[in-house]
Amino acid sequence: MKLKGKVAVVTGGARDIGQAICIKLAKEGAKVVVNYYGSKKDSEETLAAIKAIGGEGIAVQADVTKQADIDNMVAKTKEAFGGKVDILVNNAGGLFARKTVEEIDEDYYNLVMNVNLKGTVFVTQAFKPLMGNGGTIINLASQAGRDGGGPGSAIYAASKGAVMTLTRNWAKELGPQGIRINAVCPGMIATKFHDDFTKDEVRAKVAGNTPLRREGQAEEVADLVAYLAGPESTFMTGNNVDINGGLAFS
């Protein structure tokens, strides 16, 4: 219960890595705001899992690319848990499709960049006034931000690279205010993301080339997020931490 009494907000918290993060933070004692966009059923399952372990949480629907939705999420958080947020996890994001350089259009570019980067910027901006000394922010970046990603993921990789750079910059800005910010860079994690966008043979090849010879699990990413949110990492800020089974090193 290292996070007992803390309030955590997790964007995109209804399923996959986001769901695992919500449950892990709740296990450590945090009260959790589970943000979702279209996954209402998944958000209800996440809340049920939190309550099953004796935790507290609320689910808030919000599109992280829309300021009005973000402001409503802040208001719902204050209403449920008061005026202080200790942990913010900017997890909402997506690839949405694999597109070659010839196939990228303006709508696709805006969708990917807005969800992955704009959402991180404006959610952080909105919740920062609720975070005092000792607050911590964890962004979800990606191995793709380091190595450029697989075929057709150029805009996704660019957006995650931007999140990594944002993390480094804001560490300098927020550090004097007592707020830490780090990012997690997952490699191949067994989630719906890869179920939807990565062929089975590609996944098998990547797993075979990984020193640990497997894909990662969402719970392993959640464990790292909880570490970065907790008291053992209080001298860490501005880091982009790899979790990829040894496939790539920073």
Which residues are marked as active site?
A: 156
> What single string gives the DSSP state of each residue in 146-158?
HH--STT-HHHHH
Q: Are 113 and 156 in contact (CB under 8 A)?
A: no
Helices (H), 128-177: 144-147, 154-174
Structure tokens at 27: 């296990």
Instruction: Give strand pairing partners of 216.
Output: 189
Angle at 236 between CA 113 and CA 11, to 5 degrees: 35
Beta strand segments in 37-143, E = 57-61, 87-90, 136-140
